[in-house]
Structure 1
Amino acid sequence: MIIRTVLAALLSAALLTPAMAENEPGTEHMLAHRAAYRLVLDSVRDNASVVRAEGVMLFEVVDACDAWASRQRFTLMISDRDGNTIETSSDYSTLEAKDGSSIRFSLTQMTEGAVTSRIAGEATLTPQGGRAVYSEPANTQEDLPPGTILPMIHTLRSLAAARTNQRIFTAPLFDGTSADGAQDTTTIFTGGWTQPQPNPAFPLLAEIGSARMRIAFFDRNVSGQNGGAGTPDYEVSMRYFENGVADELKMDFGEFVVDGRLGELQPIPSPCG
């Protein structure tokens, strides 16, 4: 659950209508970059056993001309009241077409250094929905509902919605982090669009606007409808900049909340002409 929360949140930075012939508007503003985040325990709910959580998350997205190639590595150490400490980690990569029509994905999850899960495959989208075909688990397929979007598109659509002062945005999202197919998502924008502000730590972000949002993820088998209903599986809050860089993360896992702070940011030059 922890791994999928982070992956769905940080790699979902854009939402696009399936099978478009051209790139989603705003794609040209996305920044290819490497980013490092420090993860620390923010708060614990009553009766929770967690007393400590800390880790790191490394994210890289590269402009592959007609696609975005991304990789995310994640490690979190969690300690409970009894003094037990567990390390969970993941290595996740995608190749997502800029027109939102297809994605290849691979995810390896580990606990205490032992592999606990592998998910891999590819998905294609059409106006009618689409299909995910998995190589791991083998012989697994999932139909995707109409309107399904891919991770990098969620950022673009979310940022576009924030600029027009929308308050809520809903869509089914497929990111390849689960063999269960798409999830329903509800994005709520808080505070409206923010104009550029001084940013001594990261001057690259000082001249562009941003928006704060909270994304809730729902199991479609439970919610039964686009946008979800009832209690979400998890929620993530963040600030997204106009170029797709995210900071000031709050990842809510139910019993506890983890704070993610951007520590390093490095642009990656595009090889495309």
Structure 2
Amino acid sequence: MRMLAIASLALLATTTVQAAPAAGAGGLAAHRAVYDLSLKDASERSGISGMIGRMVYEFNGSACEGYTVSFRFVTEIATGEDSRLTDQQTTTFEDVRQGKFSFVTRSYVDQKLDHEVRGSAEVSGDGLSVDLDQPEKLAVDIAKARFPTEHMIELIHKAVEGERFYESRIYDGSDDGDKAMITTTILGDKQPVEASDAEAKRAGELADDAFWPVSMSYFEETAEGDGLPVYSIAFKLYENGVTRDLTMDYGDFVLQGQLAQLDIFKPEPCVEQ
């Protein structure tokens, strides 16, 4: 469910080696987006007969103070005659100027804590220095990678510049927090909203704005050759970083996420020192 972290945004970021360009002429929007989730497809091997849920994603902050992301991803999964409730809660903080990132993710199954990942990472030389507190104490150095905010800035900059395919590496603290992932991204040409697009009408002030269709695949760093992605995601991306019409493919099953509500927040003031 790393795509939630991928959707985090910022106005200006530094990468592990060089500065990333600002994302869009108007910057990126602090916002709260609610998505209704449904099962689009599932293989027989998955054992899943049905799935519904809701995802709430909130992005706040400023270039001066840093950026926070808070999201909750709740699903009810039916498997034959049984069902289980999963609840993933994540909060992150990213200081894009100092190249620092911290995160906490708690995953619950049927309201009982199943897994917790807590730690931080920062740019160190030509790589990242990662310090984990949970699930166990661990310090590890990994190759250079973008944090989630940086990654979104890169994505929007590529789209604005007309680049249609690129590869990147991202670190977002997911799984056990001890590794990065390789991403490949395909960007379509900017498209106008169709009159029949009911979801667009729920995007408030963005309802009539054009968007880019985006498809991203995630691979393990150790994958060789033409290995299959761990998962992939497709979505419609606005220039201010808001996303909608999500399709999340986890291999054995595919989830659809439709925007149910969008609130754009007033940006926090940022006075340059």
State the TM-score bracket (shorter-chain normalisation): 0.7 to 0.9
CA shift digits 1:9-49 (9 cap, x unpaired): 43489996524786741275100011110000112235442
- Determine whether 1:242 maps to 2:255: no
Structure 1 stretches lacking a partner, 5+ long: none
Paired residue secondary structure (2:7): helix
Shift of 1:196: 6.7
Distance 1:131 1:22, change over 3 A: same
Select 2:135's aligned residue among 134, 137, 142.
137
State which drifts further: 112-121 or 95-104: 95-104
- Determine whether 1:122 maps to 2:123: no
- Determine whether 1:154 maps to 2:143: no
- Determine whether 1:74 maps to 2:73: yes
What is the TM-score with the length of structure 1 in the denominator?
0.86
Q: Does the CA contact (< 8 Å) of 2:13 and 2:96 recur in 1?
A: no
Residue identity in the other structure for 1:73: R
Provide the rounded CA distance (Å) in 2 between the counterparts of 1:14 and 1:68.
Answer: 10
Correspondence for 2:223? 222
- Determine whether 1:105 maps to 2:82: no
Counting matched residue pairs gives 263
CA shift digits 1:212-257 (9 cap, x unpaired): 111111111334xxxx841111111111111110100001111111
What is the TM-score with the length of structure 2 in the denominator?
0.86
Distance 1:127 1:23, change over 3 A: same
Paired residue secondary structure (2:189): strand
Correspondence for 1:181? 179
Shift of 1:8: 4.4
1:3-82 alignment runs, 5 A limit: 4-11=1-8, 18-19=15-16, 24-26=21-23, 29-66=27-64, 67-80=66-79, 82=80
CA shift digits 1:135-177 (9 cap, x unpaired): 113321232213x101122212111212222221211100112
Q: Does the CA contact (< 8 Å) of 1:18 and 1:101 recur in 2?
A: yes
Distance 1:166 1:194, change over 3 A: same
Provide the rounded CA distance (Å) in 1 between the counterparts of 2:13 and 2:186.
Answer: 17
Distance 1:244 1:127, change over 3 A: farther
Identity across the alignment (%): 23
Q: Does the CA contact (< 8 Å) of 2:2 and 2:174 recur in 1?
A: no
Paired residue secondary structure (1:222): coil
Residue identity in the other structure for 1:58: V
RMSD: 2.6
Provide the rounded CA distance (Å) in 1 between the counterparts of 2:71 and 2:164.
Answer: 29
Q: Does the CA contact (< 8 Å) of 2:170 and 2:183 recur in 1?
A: yes
Provide the rounded CA distance (Å) in 1 between the counterparts of 2:43 and 2:70.
Answer: 32
